[in-house]
C-alpha cells in the first residue's frame, strides 16, 4: 500500500512539474517561501501571546500554499491586492519581486517591522498587520474591510487595459467576502469588460466563526462564476503546485485579453480569526485532518518523492529560515518607533501649486470680474471644456460612470465627449456605485487619472467604503508611498422638487474623512478652473456641483487656467458683516448683500470654493475687519460644514467678534417634495438678510 501511495505521489508531482516546466530552483524557492511564511506567523502568534504586538493580527498559517502558488504564476511586474490576512501574500510577493538574497531579507524585515508598528516597516508603522502594502513593486495593499480590495483590483486591471499593457492583477479574498456586494459588483464589471484580473477565493471554511455552509446555499463559491460568464475552478488550497497550475492557466487567459477567472482554493487557517478567537466552533479532529495535509508536508514530501529534495537540503533550508527570522527580529527591534512628528505626515500628497500660482489666479480672477467683453458660457459648458482640455492634455485621464456616454451623465455635462474620445475614455458603467468608486481607487493607484461620476451626492454613501476607507486612507496607511489621483464628480442640493433622495447637501460626510478634498464651485469660471486643478492634483477629490447651477452663465477666459485648491474668493468686499458660503448659496448671499446695501449694511461675501483644503485665513482676516460673522449653507443645520468654520473662528478670532455668530442652514428634516415645503426647508434670501441684520444689531 505504501509503495502504491508513493508511486501515485511521484506520478502526480512529476506531472505537475513537467506541465508547468518548473526547475528545481523554483521548487525549492516555493518551499522556502512556505517555510518563511509559517515561521513568521508562528512568531507573530508568540509575540501576540506575550503582548509584544498590540492590536489585531490575522494569521495566515495553513494557507501558505495559496499565496506561494498563485504568486509563483506571476511575472515580477504584475500586481496583487490583499486582505486583512495578508502577511502571506505580502511575503510571497515581496520575495518574488526581489532579485538578490539581500533584497529578499529586507522584504522579510519590513514585514516583521510593520506588524510591530516600527518605522522601518513597509508603511513606516502606520498600516500595521492588516494594511501591508508595497505599491512601488506592485502590491497595491491589504485592507481591513472584508471585500474592500475587490473593486480596487478591478480598477487596477482596468488601468492595464486602458494603458495597453499585458500585466495581470491577482485579487485575494476570503469566503466571507464572497457574500458582500463588492464581490458581485466587481465580478460583473470585470467580466463585462474582459479585464485581466484573477479573483482568488481563499475558502478556509469560516468567516470569523460562521461556517460557509451557513452563509451560502451553494457549497462552492466557484459555481457563482457562471453568473458572470467567466471560468470558475476549485483547487486544493493546501498544495502549492496545484494552485500554481490553475492560476497559471488563468493568468495566461487574462494576458490574452480573454478576461477574468474565479478560482476557489479550499484551504484552512490553523489559528483563529484573530488572536482572541478560541476556535470553539471547530473540532480538534477537523483541525488535525487539515494539519495532516499541511502545505509544508505536501510540498516537501512531493519534492523528496521525485528526487528534487533531500533530508539534508531540507534541514539546511529550515536552519536558513530560522536565521532569516532572527535577522528580521533584530532589524525590527532596532527599528525605532515612529517619531511623533510622523502623526500628521502622508495624509495628503503635496500641493502641485506654488505661491506664484495663487497670485496669478487672483490676478486673472480680477480680470474676469472687470472684463465685460469676455465671453460667457454656462456652468455645464465649463465642465465639458475642463474635461475635454484635460483629456486632450493627458491620455491617462478618463471618465467613468452611469450614463456618461451618449446621455452625457445626469445633467448632460459630459455630452459630446463620447464621440470625440471613444468608449474607453468615456466609459458607461453598470449601476454599481461601490465598484465605480473602488475601480477609481485601483486605477489611480495603478497610474491612471479617473474622473468618476456619481449621479447624485445622495448616492455617494454607496461609495463611502471604497473612497473613504481605501482611496482617502491608503496614502497614510501605506506610509506615504502611494498616491490616489482621482476625482468623483457628483451634484447635490435642492431646488427641483425631487424629494429627499435626490436633493440633499451631504458635503459634510466627505469633509469628515482625512485624505480626501472637497470642492464646491459656484460659477462657470470657478467650476472650470477648479475641475482642471482637481484632475491634476494627486489626491482624491469629491467634486460637488449644484443641480441648479448647470444653466447659469458667467465669464470664462479662453486661455488655459487653473484655480489652486484651498483659495477662497471674496465675491463682494464689505466692511460690516462677513458672510461665508459656497456653491449655489453664493447667489443668495450676493442678492442679500445687495438688499442690505440699500439699508447701509456693507456685507463681505466670501465663497469658500473648496471646503478641504479650507482657506480659513481669508475668513479670519475678514472677521477681524468686520467683527461679525454669518455662515450660510444648504446642508442640514445640526451637522453642516459651516459649523466647523464657526468653530475655527471661535478658536482663532473670538476676540475680534463684536456679536455672536449666526448661521443660516437647511432645516433638520428630509428635503420635502412639495415646492412650498422645499422652499421653507432650505435657506432663502430673506433668512440671510434677517441673520445679517441680527449680527449688526
- Residue range 344-373, pLDDT digits in tens: 999 999 999 999 999 999 999 999 999 999
pLDDT tens readout for residues 365-401: 999 999 999 999 999 999 999 999 999 999 999 999 9
pLDDT of residue 405: 85
DSSP class of residue 351 equals P
C-alpha cell at 189: 464589471
Q: How far apart are CA 519 and CA 234, in angstroms?
A: 47
Taking CA atoms, 617 is separated from 452, 459, 622, in Å, by 31, 33, 9
Nearest alpha-carbon partner for 148 in 207, 84, 57:
84
Q: How far apart are CA 617 and CA 95, in angstroms?
A: 49
> What is the SS3 assignment for 605-641?
EEECCEEECCCHHHHHHHHHHHCCEEEEEEEEHHHCH
Residue 519's SS3 state is strand
Q: Is the pLDDT of residue 194 over 60?
A: yes
Q: Is the pLDDT of residue 7 over 90?
A: no
Which runs of consecutive H residues, i.e. helices, occur in 256-378? 284-291, 295-305, 311-334, 355-370
Q: How far apart are CA 61 and CA 35, in angstroms?
A: 10
Taking CA atoms, 166 is separated from 163, 195, 230, in Å, by 9, 11, 19
Q: How far apart are CA 588 and CA 346, in angstroms?
A: 38
Q: How far apart are CA 450 and CA 163, in angstroms?
A: 13
Residue with cell 504586538: 53
Residue 192's SS3 state is helix
Q: From the candidates 41, 433, 507, 545, which is the catalytic residue? A: 433
Q: Is the dihedral of CA 203, 289, 275, 212 positive or negative?
A: positive
Specify the pairing of strand 376-378 against strand 553-555. Answer: antiparallel
Nearest alpha-carbon partner for 135 in 474, 469, 513, 538:
474
DSSP class of residue 305 equals H
Q: Is the dihedral of CA 228, 234, 238, 243 positive or negative?
A: negative
Q: Is the pLDDT of residue 1 over 50?
A: no
Q: From the candidates 58, 91, 502, 546, which is the catalytic residue? A: 502
When pLDDT is cut at 50, 70 and 90, the band that residue 259 belongs to is: very high
Nearest alpha-carbon partner for 192 in 439, 406, 415:
439
Q: Is the pLDDT of residue 415 over 90?
A: no
pLDDT of residue 499: 87
| DSSP E strand stretches across 346-445 | 376-378, 397-401, 426-428
Q: Tell me the mean pLDDT in the region 562-590.
A: 98
| DSSP E strand stretches across 120-184 | 169-174
When pLDDT is cut at 50, 70 and 90, the band that residue 416 belongs to is: confident
Average pLDDT over all residues of the chain: 95
pLDDT of residue 4: 64
Provide the angle, in degrees to the nearest 10, between the axes of the packed helices 295-305 and 240-255: 90
Percent of all residues in the chain with a pLDDT value above 70, rounded to a whole number? 99
pLDDT tens readout for residues 669-679: 999 899 999 98
Cross-strand partners of 577: 603
Counting Cα atoms < 13 Å in the Cβ hemisphere of 221 gives 27
C-alpha cell at 585: 448659496
Q: How far apart are CA 416 and CA 407, in angstroms?
A: 9
Asked if residues 649 and 659 have their Cβ atoms less than 8 Å apart, the reply is no
- The residues near 641 (Cβ < 8 Å, ≥ 6 apart) are 507, 508, 511, 611, 633, 635
Residue 165, H or E segment = none
pLDDT of residue 497: 87
C-alpha cell at 643: 459649523
284: left (phi over 0), alpha (psi -120 to 50) or beta: alpha
* Longest Cα–Cα distance in the chain: 104
C-alpha cell at 80: 496583487
pLDDT tens readout for residues 434-485: 999 999 999 999 999 999 999 999 999 999 999 999 999 999 999 999 999 9
> Does 502 participate in catalysis according to the annotation?
yes
> What is the SS3 assignment for 14-29?
HHHHHHHCCCHHHHHH
Nearest alpha-carbon partner for 263 in 246, 284, 242:
246
pLDDT of residue 5: 66
Residue with cell 516537501: 300
Asked if residues 147 and 177 have their Cβ atoms less than 8 Å apart, the reply is yes
When pLDDT is cut at 50, 70 and 90, the band that residue 285 belongs to is: very high
Q: How far apart are CA 352 and CA 208, in angstroms?
A: 44
Q: How far apart are CA 40 and CA 28, in angstroms?
A: 18
Q: How far apart are CA 152 and CA 345, in angstroms?
A: 24
DSSP class of residue 485 equals -
Bond into 468 cis (ω within 30): no
Asked if residues 580 and 632 have their Cβ atoms less than 8 Å apart, the reply is yes
Residue 662's SS3 state is strand
Phi, psi angle pair for 397, to nearest 5°? -80, 130
DSSP per-residue string spanning 528-565: HHHHHHHHHSSS-EEEEEETTTTT-EEE--SS-----T
Residue 237's SS3 state is coil
Q: How far apart are CA 1 and CA 265, in angstroms?
A: 29
Asked if residues 46 and 145 have their Cβ atoms less than 8 Å apart, the reply is no
pLDDT tens readout for residues 54-112: 888 999 999 999 999 999 999 999 999 999 999 999 999 999 999 999 999 999 999 99
> Does 233 participate in catalysis according to the annotation?
no
Residue predicted with more confidence, 670 or 195: 195
pLDDT of residue 244: 98
Taking CA atoms, 493 is separated from 380, 503, 545, in Å, by 16, 5, 9
Nearest alpha-carbon partner for 132 in 69, 89, 161, 170:
89
Residue predicted with more confidence, 39 or 408: 39
Cross-strand partners of 519: 543, 610
Counting Cβ atoms within 10 Å, is residue 340 exposed (0-12), middle (13-18) or buried (19+)?
Answer: exposed
Highest mean pLDDT among 50-54, 454-458, 579-583: 579-583
Q: What angle do CA 451, 454, 457 make, to 5 degrees?
A: 125
Nearest alpha-carbon partner for 156 in 143, 171, 142, 146:
171
Residue predicted with more confidence, 273 or 649: 649
Q: How far apart are CA 102 and CA 92, in angstroms?
A: 15
Q: How far apart are CA 451 and CA 414, in angstroms?
A: 11
Amino acid at each position: 500500500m505504501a509503495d502504491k501511495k508513493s508511486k501515485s505521489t511521484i506520478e502526480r508531482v512529476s506531472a505537475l512539474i513537467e506541465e508547468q516546466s518548473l526547475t528545481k530552483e523554483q521548487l525549492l524557492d516555493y518551499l522556502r517561501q512556505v517555510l518563511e511564511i509559517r515561521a513568521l506567523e508562528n512568531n507573530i502568534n508568540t509575540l501576540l501571546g506575550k503582548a509584544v504586538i498590540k492590536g489585531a493580527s490575522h494569521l495566515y498559517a495553513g494557507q501558505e500554499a495559496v499565496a506561494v502558488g498563485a504568486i509563483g504564476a506571476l511575472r515580477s511586474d504584475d500586481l496583487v491586492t490583499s486582505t486583512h490576512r495578508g502577511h502571506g501574500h505580502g511575503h510571497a510577493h515581496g520575495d518574488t519581486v526581489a532579485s538578490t538574497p539581500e533584497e529578499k531579507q529586507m522584504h522579510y524585515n519590513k514585514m516583521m517591522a510593520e506588524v510591530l508598528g516600527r518605522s522601518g516597516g513597509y508603511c513606516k508603522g502606520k498600516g500595521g498587520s492588516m494594511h501591508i502594502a508595497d505599491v512601488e513593486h506592485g502590491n497595491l495593499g491589504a485592507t481591513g474591510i472584508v471585500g474592500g480590495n475587490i473593486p480596487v483590483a478591478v480598477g487596477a486591471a482596468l488601468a492595464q487595459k486602458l494603458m495597453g499593457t499585458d500585466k495581470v492583477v491577482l485579487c485575494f479574498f476570503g469566503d466571507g467576502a464572497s457574500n458582500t456586494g463588492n464581490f458581485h459588483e466587481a465580478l460583473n464589471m470585470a467580466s463585462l469588460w474582459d479585464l485581466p484580473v484573477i479573483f482568488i477565493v481563499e475558502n478556509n471554511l469560516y468567516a470569523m466563526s460562521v461556517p460557509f455552509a451557513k452563509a451560502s446555499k451553494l457549497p462552492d463559491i466557484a459555481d457563482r462564476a457562471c453568473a458572470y460568464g467567466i471560468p470558475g475552478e476549485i483547487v486544493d488550497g493546501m498544495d502549492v503546485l496545484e494552485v500554481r497550475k490553475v492560476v497559471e492557466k488563468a493568468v495566461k487567459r487574462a494576458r490574452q485579453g480573454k478576461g477574468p477567472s474565479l478560482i476557489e482554493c479550499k484551504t484552512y487557517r490553523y489559528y483563529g480569526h484573530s488572536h482572541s478567537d478560541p476556535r470553539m466552533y471547530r473540532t480538534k479532529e477537523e483541525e488535525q485532518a487539515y494539519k495532516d495535509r499541511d502545505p509544508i508536508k505536501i510540498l516537501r514530501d512531493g519534492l523528496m518523492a521525485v528526487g528534487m529534495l533531500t533530508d539534508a537540503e531540507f534541514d539546511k533550508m529550515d536552519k536558513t529560515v530560522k536565521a532569516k527570522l532572527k535577522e528580521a527580529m533584530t532589524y525590527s527591534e532596532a527599528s525605532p518607533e515612529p517619531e511623533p512628528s510622523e502623526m500628521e505626515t502622508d495624509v495628503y500628497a503635496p500641493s502641485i501649486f506654488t505661491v506664484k500660482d495663487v497670485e496669478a489666479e487672483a490676478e486673472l480672477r480680477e480680470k474676469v470680474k472687470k472684463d465685460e467683453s469676455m465671453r460667457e458660457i454656462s456652468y455645464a459648458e465649463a465642465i465639458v471644456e475642463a474635461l475635454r482640455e484635460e483629456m486632450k492634455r493627458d491620455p491617462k485621464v478618463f471618465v467613468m460612470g452611469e450614463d456618461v456616454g451618449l446621455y452625457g451623465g445626469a445633467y448632460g455635462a459630459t455630452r459630446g465627449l463620447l464621440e470625440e474620445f471613444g468608449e474607453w475614455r468615456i466609459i458607461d458603467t453598470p449601476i454599481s456605485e461601490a465598484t465605480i468608486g473602488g475601480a477609481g481607487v485601483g486605477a489611480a493607484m495603478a497610474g491612471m487619472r479617473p474622473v468618476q461620476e456619481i449621479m447624485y451626492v445622495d448616492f455617494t454613501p454607496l461609495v463611502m467604503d471604497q473612497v473613504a476607507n481605501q482611496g482617502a486612507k491608503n496614502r497614510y496607511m501605506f506610509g506615504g508611498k502611494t498616491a490616489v489621483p482621482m476625482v468623483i464628480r457628483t451634484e447635490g442640493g435642492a431646488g427641483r422638487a425631487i424629494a429627499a433622495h435626490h436633493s440633499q447637501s451631504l458635503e459634510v460626510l466627505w469633509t469628515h474623512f482625512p485624505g480626501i478634498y472637497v470642492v464646491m464651485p459656484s460659477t462657470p469660471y470657478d467650476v472650470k478652473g477648479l475641475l482642471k486643478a482637481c484632475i491634476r492634483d494627486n489626491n482624491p477629490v469629491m467634486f460637488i456641483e449644484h443641480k441648479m447651477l448647470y444653466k447659469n452663465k458667467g465669464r470664462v477666459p479662453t486661455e488655459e487656467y487653473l484655480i489652486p485648491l484651498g483659495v477662497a474668493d471674496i465675491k463682494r468686499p464689505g466692511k460690516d458683516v462677513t458672510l461665508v458660503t459656497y456653491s449655489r448659496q453664493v447667489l443668495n448671499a450676493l442678492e442679500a448683500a445687495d438688499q442690505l446695501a440699500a439699508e447701509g449694511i456693507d456685507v463681505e461675501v466670501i465663497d469658500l470654493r473648496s471646503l478641504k483644503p479650507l482657506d480659513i485665513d481669508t475668513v479670519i482676516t475678514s472677521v477681524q475687519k468686520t467683527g461679525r460673522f454669518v455662515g450660510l449653507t444648504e446642508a442640514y443645520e445640526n451637522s453642516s460644514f459651516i459649523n466647523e468654520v464657526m468653530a475655527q473662528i471661535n478658536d482663532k478670532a473670538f476676540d475680534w467678534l463684536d456679536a455672536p455668530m449666526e448661521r443660516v442652514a437647511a432645516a433638520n428634516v428630509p428635503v420635502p417634495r412639495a415646492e412650498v415645503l422645499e422652499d421653507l426647508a432650505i435657506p432663502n434670501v430673506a433668512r440671510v438678510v434677517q441673520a445679517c441684520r441680527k449680527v449688526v444689531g
